[in-house]
Chain A
């Protein structure tokens, strides 16, 4: 274990009343007496708020007076007050890793408001666990790294373009990587925008032109990202253009690779019946101008909301409604029927379409519409009747599906993807717009099907988070890392194989013996290497086996 210094072994327990929030449900006097009995090396004190200026001053004074070298603050959560309390204790000389928070507020007081005796016993056990953790904690320093002041944006659709332009506007140099020869993404194939009904392709072209003209943005079209190394603040992105690769350094990365439109081969005659097109192909038809097709049948949810793809693609209903209105503006005598499974255009113009004469029928996925030579036949749920609708054109609304290469790229970035191949965040509601790897952000449909405005919001959001990260100059990271005991390591390289983040490397140790060494900046503390190590030579620095055994011991103690 790396250089743990001799300690005084004195631990201070700081019980927080949190006003009355903790002092009400928990008997702090009894708790204090129980904990004082832990031994002569334990001191216990109580104050209304340890987090207040006065409280922190008292904490520092107590540390100095009693020569404490481990601190347990029994109050609220590590997430809300961990840094505040660890910094206060560090000012008095206690290593940050030896300050432990025990969440009495949320894990005890608030959940047991009316069971004082039991809650107090539970609190005592929780604090004892904290003491075990603090006393065995290795003194660690945060891992710091210089931040490279530029960003890489992967993907040149509306999300990627918006992100690149927002970053450039903040003075941040950007390398924008686009796999296609042209910028603009799916928007180049779209006829009109929603809700403005402006020209989508022109919008995409103008945005692309401004991006190309911006000297702070280095646009690489027909290029792909083949490798990503490094960590937040210092990434090396390998970009390939026409067989030539180049390493691009960046402090942060925005993934904006978008999604594919599902191609419904074999469904509703698509691929064999030339009168059947997809909604995105229909956008092109509308750009060219509708020829003599007058009777149009649109079918929603083609390939979505089924067992294989159990999700709603979010944007199709709005696009369909927009297209019906577009058709009727230029060809008022067109007859449009939309077959739906329930309409999900949460921001759209449904009422306007209805007033313009579009017919909406509801179909049952158990009895789907049949596209036959003369007509589309469907069982209309609302009227409980089988209807036949003659057609000149059938338009299928197909979902956005994750691109196959997004999963590959996400793996290189250390981003998890869900079972449909969309990039996953740690929590969709509680931590939206944040992602597991520290320096990587995601915008647009690579994350989930999104409208043009949603793509832009997400892009600006990603840009502001990138700017915030790069603006720091240096970043400090919790030392949640694994380290190798070089005396025990036999240099087999299992950890190198197992690591997804390229953290362990085999190096020549003393006597020319191969040993593994872990790069603290790359390590994310996942622990995979610990499991595969045949010599048990690797330890997670914030959770040593000794510490964990003591914690379990304290938890199991009666």
Chain B
């Protein structure tokens, strides 16, 4: 890997770092096996290079491997295709892609992560300076009639968590969370929010951001109405984090079509009240975010539920 001449944006770090054309998906990825990125590998492009093959003492590099299709004969299928995140570029009022220091929640997660591209320091994209003042913009694309009119359900809590992490990594960090309704409906979520406010100094502002302007020194300036005081105000920050809407995974609709599974207008798999793990197709079950936004404990419960339904069918224990 070290000798590979080709550097490309690291998709695991949502493009924030670089990786080589031969790479591990991420450090703790399973299986822990190197992969060659065919689209970017110099050998596949030009027919020359093979540096990695020469370097590998174990002779593990094989340029002749081909994709192959596998047919599996199974009694049940469980859909657990999860989610994808909305690209916030069409939300032009937020300036994502135009203002360098406007990033998404997922990008923030990589920056604040100790194994991420900045070693856990919240260095902002424009100048690599530590961002102290952070504005979190909730419902970026969610609960928005022009984009996703549903609630993505997990963003309120992850923004609170991210703001708390920010303060843990940097005692001078001050986070503002601009929210619509603060939906802390899960187990002890409200207590978590109170802790964020009291112990981590998070400022909660009820108001949707109208516009983000490109301020001096690449500082984003947030314009909003504080609906509690009915005042229009602005706030200059070092970094803005967009809590972008969660969508069904990109190929969910196509997969559902292949399987004959019904999905709602957004592409989430439909199940009904009476049998929450079962889809309209016998023997096909679904769990987790592919059925609609849900958090980790709910996903785990749904996963066990789907496994239970599937195994009952497969074992046929009557």
Across the interface, do B309 and A460 meet the contact criterion of CB distance under 8 Å? yes
Across the interface, do B312 and A203 meet the contact criterion of CB distance under 8 Å? no
- Knowing A344-B183, A381-B227, A432-B297, the reply to whether A193 touches B273 (Cβ < 8 A) is yes
Task: Give the CA-CA distance A490 to B20 in the complex, in Å.
Answer: 70
Q: B307: nearest residue on chain A (CB-CB)?
A: A464
Interface residues of A in 439-467 (CB under 8 A from B): 447-448, 452-454, 456-465, 467
Q: B317: nearest residue on chain A (CB-CB)?
A: A171
A-B contact count (CB 8 A): 129
Across the interface, do B181 and A464 meet the contact criterion of CB distance under 8 Å? no
Chain A interface extent, by class:
35 or more
Task: Give the CA-CA distance A110 to B28 in the complex, in Å.
Answer: 11
Set of chain A residues within 8 Å of B114, measured between Cβ atoms: 111
Set of chain B residues within 8 Å of A362, measured between Cβ atoms: 227
Set of chain B residues within 8 Å of A312, measured between Cβ atoms: 184-185, 189-190
Across the interface, do A19 and B32 meet the contact criterion of CB distance under 8 Å? yes
Interface residues of B in 294-312 (CB under 8 A from A): 296-298, 300-309, 311-312
Task: Give the CA-CA distance A110 to B115 in the complex, in Å.
Answer: 9
Set of chain B residues within 8 Å of A111, measured between Cβ atoms: 114
Chain B interface extent, by class:
35 or more
Q: B303: nearest residue on chain A (CB-CB)?
A: A461
- Knowing A344-B183, A460-B277, the reply to whether A305 touches B296 (Cβ < 8 A) is no
Q: Which of B191, B227, B305 contacts A311 (CB 8 A)?
A: B191
Q: A309: nearest residue on chain B (CB-CB)?
A: B190
The SS class assigned to the A binding surface is loop
Set of chain A residues within 8 Å of B317, measured between Cβ atoms: 169-171
Q: A49: nearest residue on chain B (CB-CB)?
A: B32
Q: A111: nearest residue on chain B (CB-CB)?
A: B114
Task: Give the CA-CA distance A432 to B304 in the complex, in Å.
Answer: 11
Across the interface, do B228 and A457 meet the contact criterion of CB distance under 8 Å? no
Set of chain A residues within 8 Å of B57, measured between Cβ atoms: none
Across the interface, do B274 and A346 meet the contact criterion of CB distance under 8 Å? no
Across the interface, do A467 and B308 meet the contact criterion of CB distance under 8 Å? yes
Across the interface, do B300 and A432 meet the contact criterion of CB distance under 8 Å? yes
Across the interface, do A166 and B273 meet the contact criterion of CB distance under 8 Å? no
Q: A342: nearest residue on chain B (CB-CB)?
A: B181
- Knowing A171-B317, A346-B153, A461-B300, the reply to whether A428 touches B187 (Cβ < 8 A) is yes
Give the B-binding residues of A (Cβ under 8 A): 19, 21, 110-111, 166, 169-171, 193-196, 198, 203, 305, 310-312, 314, 342-344, 346-347, 351, 362, 364, 381-382, 384, 418, 422, 428-429, 432-433, 447-448, 452-454, 456-465, 467
| 11 A-B interface contacts by CB (under 8 A) | A342-B182, A362-B227, A429-B296, A452-B273, A457-B301, A457-B304, A460-B306, A461-B303, A463-B308, A464-B308, A464-B311
Given contacts A310-B190, A460-B308, 4 further A-B contacts (CB under 8 A): A342-B206, A343-B181, A428-B187, A461-B301
- 3 smallest A-B Cβ distances: which pairs? A461-B304, A460-B305, A464-B308
